[in-house]
């Protein structure tokens, strides 16, 4: 406790004791006659917000107001009213937005999982225009180097690419991240974003062949990786016939099934293929037969049913789902 | 959390309802200091507290009239001289921070009405039994249209903000509760939601973004509230739907991890709150029994704190947000003593039906 008081006296002089604020009358929070679910505010919080209310209500467009918004943001970075007022101040005081970018970076270093910070960052980048492209890509890269699945950072990055450009290196960047962690689903999603939306790559049709090869290699290395299987399916989005007929897909399923380990996704993918019309040959029947355990002895009438039965055994968390999938299979002729 | 030993969960196989009621009641009387950093979302915090007490079948501890009056004090009335086409939204402020009285002409200069706060305000009002037909729903709805974007999404506040599925959901839930859909172009909203379905079947917060449990809830609950997805669709013979339902189902079922909990995205840790975000979607679709509910229960119990509330991860300290979604998840699991949940609206069925 003593330490806390010492810290406060070192760090912060209350606004009411600062000469530059002596002319301002703070506006206390009006909680109304009967407040419920009250918050236990600290003195500092109450004071800063009381002064904030005063400058906001007076629409005081001053540099002291700008520094007050920084104090208020440090106490509640989600306060969109404060951020909005700060933007009015930045505009009317004609503040160099490069400096503002550094401010955002400092706030983000404390807590980057906050929508308002990113909304503000986007506003600054929009104002700066094309020249902001590289700094924004670098900024998100920095955040992603700490947390490679940071949702806000990815969202900002996608916005930068779509608005300011910078697509040229993005596929390489995805490959780098996936080389670091092939289970990074955010990087797989970004990869999909790039191959479907980059103006330089010709779209999914042009990219499919090379992407299928890349993905199959990833699947073979880690067949338990949900992300790569979903990406493979995504490469054939709205192209069910192509998906069913591309032997690369069925082959990788067979290859994994034959290893008899980590084959859940291979099995469910094969089931989906069959439901879409794929006709498995003897090789598949043998591989599936080899996975049957003594527990499921009753003979299923067709391979799809057998797959469901195996999944019921090896994926017990979702046993009811596989039973349901089985119940919806067309009756064998 | 450093002192995980201190926070270690109870070795128990049951949910300790009384302790959770005490936890929620404590929050009701005074939100601890760390919550001041979320002051701007005061109504949302209040929604978590009051809806918790409702789920825990302890609404008698709430002073209903005082709560209703307090919530109504956040409402922004359109002054008589305000131009109805001024682009503003007339809903509810999130907090008292930026609430000011109107000037002598009755004009409000600081309208910070927010969609999420408005959703929470209406939800609380329904929970405490306030008759929403006494509100000027037309003014709220018609002004809400000002927030809809050309792509169908919503920004949360007229002064600008990020647009994504969270506010689409808030808008849909507001229209549903007011029983007034003049506030949105439903077709455009539907198209926006469909654009958010990812290649893997889940939904991202914006088109192109990674599938996410919370965003998927917002998408499916909105479609349900708007009437584009029927209740219990999985039990019908025909699975044809606006969305790619089989792909969604496969994605959503994979969110249950080997520890029994649900994760928000593939290859991420399981976390208490997704028991509601994912579980809520399963309830709407009619797929609750496709997951291992016993294992889910076990995971949630490992996040139950010995003095009430739930933490994000096993062994951590509890917080209001994860506690609320822990209670909501146990309600979806049909725990005895808890009220049943209207998962698409985020309040109990009794509150939703105005019982």
Asked if B98 has any chain A CB less than 8 Å from its own CB, the reply is: yes
pLDDT for the residue B134: 94
Per-residue pLDDT, B211: 98
Q: What is the mean pLDDT of residues B251-275?
A: 98
In the structure encoding, which two tokens stand for residue B123, read together? 């939800």
What residue spans define the domains of chain B? Answer: 14-352
Exposed/middle/buried for residue B14 (C-beta within 10 Å: 0-12, 13-18, 19+): exposed
Mark which residues 5-34 of B lie under 8 Å from A by CB.
Answer: 27-33
The percentage of residues in chain B with a pLDDT greater than 70, rounded to a whole number, is 93
Model confidence pLDDT, tens digit, residues B102-146? 677 766 678 889 999 999 999 999 999 999 999 999 999 999 999
Mutate to test the interface with A, among B28, B34, B39 (most CBs of A within 10 A): B39
User: CA of A276: which chain B residue's CA is closest?
Assistant: B246
Element (H, E) at B21: helix B17-29
Tokens of A74: 């440090």
H/E element, B54: helix B42-55
Q: How confident is the model at residue B204 (pLDDT cuts 50, 70, 90)?
A: very high
Residues 6+ away with beta carbon under 8 Å from A322: A308, A309, A311, A312, A315
pLDDT at B86 over 70: yes
pLDDT tens-digit readout, B136-190? 999 999 999 999 999 999 999 999 899 999 999 999 999 999 999 999 999 999 9
Tell me what pLDDT residue B109 has.
75
C-beta atoms of A76 and B37 within 8 A: yes
Maximum Cα interatomic distance, chain B, rounded to a whole number of Å: 63
The whole-angstrom separation of Cα B144 and Cα B134 is 18
* CA nearest to A274, candidates A244, A300, A251, A252: A244
**Searching chain B, which residue's CA lies closest to the CA of residue A204?**
B199
What's residue A45's pLDDT? 96
| Chain B CB contacts of A44 below 8 Å | none
Q: Which residues contact B53 (CB under 8 A, 6 or more apart)?
A: B21, B24, B25, B28, B59, B61, B62
Cross-chain CB nearest to B46 (options A31, A37, A45): A37
Residue B290 has its nearest CB partner, among A155, A183, A324, at A324
**Band of the pLDDT at B99, cuts 50, 70, 90?**
confident
Shortest Cα–Cα distance, A186 to chain B (Å): 6
| CA pair distance A157, A137, nearest whole angstrom | 6
Share of chain B above pLDDT 90, in %: 83
- B154 forms beta bridges with B148
Chain B residues inside the 8 Å CB shell of A268: 250
The confidence band for B43, taking pLDDT boundaries of 50, 70 and 90, is very high
pLDDT reported for residue A331: 77
pLDDT, residue B105, reads 72
Contacts of A320 in chain B (CB under 8 A): 289-291
Are B88 and B113 spatial neighbours (Cβ–Cβ below 8 Å)?
Answer: yes
- Which segments in chain A show pLDDT lower than 50? 1-9, 333
Mutation site, A39, A46, A90, A160, interface B, largest B CB count within 10 A: A39
ipTM: 0.94
pLDDT, one tens digit per residue, over B303-330 is 999 999 999 999 999 999 999 999 999 9
Q: Do A76 and B39 touch (CB under 8 A)?
A: yes
**pLDDT at residue B12, rounded to an integer:** 65
Contacts of B114 in chain A (CB under 8 A): 80
DSSP letters along A116-161, please?
HHHHHHHHHHHHHGGGGHHHHHHHHHHHHHH-TT-HHHHHHHHHHH
**Crossing angle (nearest 10°) for helices A43-57 and A80-92:** 50
Flag if B254 and A226 touch (Cβ within 8 Å): yes
Rounded CA-CA distance A333/A266 in Å is 26
Is any Cβ of chain A less than 8 angstroms from the Cβ of B112?
yes
Class of domain B14-352: mainly alpha
Interchain contact, B70 vs A32, CB within 8 Å: yes
Task: Spell out which residues of chain B touch residue A53, defining contact as CB-CB under 8 Å.
Answer: 97-98, 100
Give the per-residue pLDDT at A297: 58
**Quick check: A318 and B253 CB within 8 A?**
yes
**To the nearest whole angstrom, how far is the Cα of A70 from the nearest Cα of chain B?**
14
pLDDT of residue B3: 42
Q: Per residue in B280-295, pLDDT tens?
A: 999 999 999 999 999 9
A-chain CB neighbours of B206 within 8 Å are: 155, 158
First to last CA, chain B: 41
Tell me the catalytic residues of A: 113
């Amino acid at each position: 406790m003593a330490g806390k008081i010492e810290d406060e006296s070192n760090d912060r002089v209350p606004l009411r004791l600062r000469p530059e604020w002596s002319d301002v009358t703070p506006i206390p929070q009006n909680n109304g006659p009967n407040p419920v679910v009250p918050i236990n505010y600290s003195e500092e919080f109450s004071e800063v917000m009381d002064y904030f209310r005063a400058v906001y209500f007076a629409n005081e467009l001053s540099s002291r107001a700008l520094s007050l918004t920084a104090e208020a943001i440090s106490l509640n970075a989600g306060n969109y009213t404060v951020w909005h007022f700060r933007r009015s101040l930045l505009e009317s005081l004609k503040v160099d937005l490069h400096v503002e970018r550094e401010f955002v970076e400092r706030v983000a270093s404390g807590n980057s999982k906050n929508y308002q910070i990113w909304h503000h960052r986007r506003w600054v980048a929009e104002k700066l225009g094309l020249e902001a492209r590289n700094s924004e890509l670098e900024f998100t890269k920095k955040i992603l180097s700490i947390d490679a699945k940071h949702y806000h950072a990815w969202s900002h990055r996608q916005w930068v690419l779509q608005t300011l450009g910078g697509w040229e290196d993005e596929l390489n960047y995805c490959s780098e991240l996936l080389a670091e962690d092939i289970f990074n689903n955010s990087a797989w999603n970004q990869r999909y974003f790039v191959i479907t939306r980059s103006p330089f790559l010709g779209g999914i049709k042009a990219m499919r062949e090379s992407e299928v090869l890349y993905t199959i290699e990833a699947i073979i290395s880690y067949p338990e990786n949900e992300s790569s299987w979903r990406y493979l399916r995504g490469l054939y989005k709205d192209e069910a016939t192509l998906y069913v007929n591309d032997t690369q897909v069925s082959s990788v399923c067979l290859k994994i099934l034959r290893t008899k380990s980590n084959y859940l996704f291979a099995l469910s993918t094969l089931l989906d293929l069959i439901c879409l019309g794929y006709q498995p040959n003897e090789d598949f029947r043998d591989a599936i037969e080899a996975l049957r355990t003594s527990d499921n002895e009753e003979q299923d009438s067709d391979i799809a049913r057998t797959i469901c039965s195996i999944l019921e055994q090896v994926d017990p968390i979702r046993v009811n789902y596989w039973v349901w999938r089985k119940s919806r299979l067309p009756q064998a002729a | 959390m450093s002192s995980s030993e201190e926070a270690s969960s109870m070795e128990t196989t049951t949910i300790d309802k009384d302790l959770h009621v005490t936890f929620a009641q404590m929050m009701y009387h005074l939100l601890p200091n760390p919550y001041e950093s979320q002051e701007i979302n005061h109504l949302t915090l209040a929604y978590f507290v009051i809806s918790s007490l409702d789920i825990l079948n302890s609404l008698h501890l709430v002073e209903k009239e005082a709560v209703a009056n307090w919530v109504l004090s956040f409402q922004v009335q359109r002054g008589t001289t305000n131009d109805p086409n001024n682009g503003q939204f007339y809903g509810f402020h999130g907090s008292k921070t930026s609430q000011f009285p109107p000037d002598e002409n009755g004009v409000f200069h600081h309208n910070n009405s927010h969609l999420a706060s408005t959703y929470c305000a209406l939800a609380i009002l329904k929970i405490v039994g306030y008759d929403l037909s006494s509100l000027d729903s037309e003014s709220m709805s018609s002004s809400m249209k000002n927030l809809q974007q050309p792509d169908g999404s919503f920004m949360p506040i007229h002064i600008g903000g990020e647009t994504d599925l969270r506010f689409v959901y808030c808008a849909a839930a507001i229209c549903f509760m007011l029983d007034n859909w003049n506030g949105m172009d439903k077709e455009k909203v539907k198209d926006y939601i469909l654009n958010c379905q990812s290649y893997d079947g889940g939904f991202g917060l914006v088109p192109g973004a990674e599938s996410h449990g919370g965003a998927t809830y917002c998408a499916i609950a909105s479609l349900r509230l708007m009437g584009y997805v029927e209740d219990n669709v999985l039990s019908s013979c025909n699975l044809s739907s606006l969305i790619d339902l089989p792909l969604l189902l496969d994605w959503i079922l994979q969110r249950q991890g080997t520890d029994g909990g649900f994760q928000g995205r593939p290859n991420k840790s399981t976390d208490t709150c997704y028991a509601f975000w994912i579980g809520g979607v399963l309830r709407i679709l009619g797929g609750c029994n496709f997951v291992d509910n016993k294992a889910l229960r076990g995971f949630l119990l490992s996040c139950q704190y010995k003095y009430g509330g739930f933490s994000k991860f096993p062994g951590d300290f509890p917080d209001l947000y994860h506690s609320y979604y822990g209670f909501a998840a146990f309600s979806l699991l049909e725990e005895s003593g808890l009220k049943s949940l209207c998962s698409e609206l985020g309040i109990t069925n009794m509150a939703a039906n105005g019982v």
